[in-house]
């Protein structure tokens, strides 16, 4: 999703009597920067929730042509509600940067930086996101602040990808009867990123490694008291029963993870964790036994992109002792539709 911030730059020539960025005895040209926030909730995520578009807090930063900070501003609740913030800024060529839904710690770090490169390198964890407060950022370069009016647009995008479980069909032999859908969760999820979105994945920070807690084979997520990491983002309880030949559709089963360029699927538990493609694991009980169906997102995950998953269960999945074992091709059919978060259209890929 892209939320557009229309930035109206109204500049008047004047002398600066005092400025906290310049020596007091050096006058400088100053302009008025009016930030129109009317676009912060104008576009809804496809079949998603308004919470995914929420801007709970918004920080604005203006950098000069050398990437040095001119001004930082934490928008008040009133400014966000009124969709307008007016700033005083020196004239020149600027980069305007916006960051939304930073928690208190991230905001403190952001307001301590003096360079654009330091702000973009600001590291945060998957757990710093929430379904109702996803970290978003946007920037616009070469903004000319002169003595005449100017305007620009800053696109605001989420740093995570969204995986949507759209449907599960029971195509098992009729003798197996009704299938009970238990839960679904993301595993092998990149757990670190920066505001620019180019941080390399760190091995130790992958979330829900090998579908287990702490990379321990006997602690499969969802068994007993074993909970998923970043549960609000990566885990959903299902609970529906699906008769033979029938399907269960969903409109609200969303999972969130950082970008993962890896495309090789995982095939079995490894003594040492090796990052692979992010996987959506669906668990179903058949004849009283839980079976695991891993859906490798082997096209890779990109930020601010939706991956819509439709499953057809045609055979028994993996058991708890090895949820990632290779499933025979005829036993599981997966269609993954990849699209921009806001459009609902895109490239379809069958695995």
For 302-315, what is each residue's pLDDT tens digit?
998 888 889 999 88
Is pLDDT of 120 > 90?
A: yes
pLDDT at 282 (0 to 100): 95
Q: What is the pLDDT of residues 196-249, one digit of tens each?
A: 999 999 999 999 998 998 888 889 999 999 999 999 999 999 999 999 999 999
Question: Residue 78's pLDDT is what?
Answer: 85
The residue-averaged pLDDT of 262-276 equals 85
Torsion of CA 13, 14, 19, 23, to 10 degrees: 100
pLDDT of 279 higher than 50: yes
pLDDT of residue 50: 66
Could you give the percent of the chain with pLDDT greater than 90?
A: 47
Nearest to 339 by CA among 132, 162, 189: 162
* Architecture label for domain 3-158: Sandwich (2.60)
Band the pLDDT of 146: cuts 50, 70, 90: confident
CA nearest 307: which of 162, 159, 128, 176?
A: 162
Q: What pLDDT, on the 0 to 100 scale, is given for residue 89?
A: 78
d(CA 297, CA 264): 9
Phi-psi region of 101 (alpha: psi -120 to 50; beta: other; left: phi over 0): left
Residue-level pLDDT at 74: 92
Q: What pLDDT was estimated at residue 266?
A: 79
Same fold, 3-158 and 161-350: yes
The pLDDT of residue 79 = 79
Write down the pLDDT at residue 8.
Answer: 37
Each residue's pLDDT tens digit, 155-166 = 778 899 999 999
pLDDT at 21: 40
Tokens of 123: 């590291």
pLDDT, mean over the chain: 80
Tokens of 185: 């969760």
Among 80, 86, 94, 79, smallest CA distance to 10 is for 86
Give the residue extent of every domain in the chain: 3-158, 161-350
pLDDT number for residue 12: 29
Give CA torsion, residues 261, 263, 265, 271, to 10 deg.
Answer: -50
Fold classification of 161-350 is Immunoglobulin-like (2.60.40)
The confidence score (pLDDT) of residue 31 equals 57
If one compares 9 and 138, the residue with the highest pLDDT of the two is: 138
- For the ranges 62-66, 87-91, 155-159, the lowest mean pLDDT is seen at 87-91
Q: pLDDT digit string (tens) for 47-58?
A: 456 678 788 898
Answer yes or no: is pLDDT of 153 > 60. yes
């Amino acid at each position: 999703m892209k939320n557009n911030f229309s930035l109206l730059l109204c500049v008047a020539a004047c002398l600066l009597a005092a400025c906290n960025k310049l020596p007091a005895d050096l006058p400088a040209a100053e302009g008025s920067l009016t930030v129109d926030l009317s676009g912060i909730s104008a576009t809804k995520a496809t079949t998603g929730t308004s919470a995914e578009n929420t801007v709970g807090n918004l920080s604005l930063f203006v950098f000069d042509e050398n990437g040095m900070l001119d001004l930082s501003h934490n928008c008040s609740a009133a400014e966000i509600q009124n969709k307008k913030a007016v700033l005083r800024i020196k004239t020149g060529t600027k980069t305007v940067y916006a960051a939304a839904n930073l928690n208190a710690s991230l905001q403190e770090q952001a307001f301590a930086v003096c360079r654009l490169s330091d702000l973009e390198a600001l590291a945060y964890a998957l757990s710093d996101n929430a379904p109702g407060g996803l970290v978003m950022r946007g920037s616009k370069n070469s903004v000319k602040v002169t003595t005449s009016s100017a305007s620009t647009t800053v696109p605001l995008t989420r740093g995570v990808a969204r995986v949507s479980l759209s449907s599960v069909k029971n195509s098992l032999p009729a003798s197996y009867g009704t299938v009970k859908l238990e839960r679904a969760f993301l595993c092998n999820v990149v757990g670190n990123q920066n505001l620019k979105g180019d941080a390399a994945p760190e091995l130790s920070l992958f979330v829900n490694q090998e579908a287990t807690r702490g990379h321990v084979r006997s602690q499969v997520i969802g068994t007993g008291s074993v909970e998923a990491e970043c549960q609000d983002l990566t885990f959903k309880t299902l609970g529906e029963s699906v008769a033979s030949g029938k399907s269960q559709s969903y409109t609200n089963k969303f999972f969130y993870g950082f970008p993962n360029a890896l495309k090789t699927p995982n095939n079995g538990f490894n003594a040492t964790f090796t990052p692979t493609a992010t996987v959506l694991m669906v668990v179903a009980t058949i004849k009283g036994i839980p079976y695991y169906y891993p859906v490798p997102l082997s096209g890779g995950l990109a930020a601010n992109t939706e991956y819509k998953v439709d499953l057809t269960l045609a055979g028994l999945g993996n058991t708890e002792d090895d949820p990632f074992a290779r499933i025979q091709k005829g036993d599981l059919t997966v269609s993954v539709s990849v699209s921009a978060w806001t459009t609902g259209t895109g490239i379809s890929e069958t695995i």
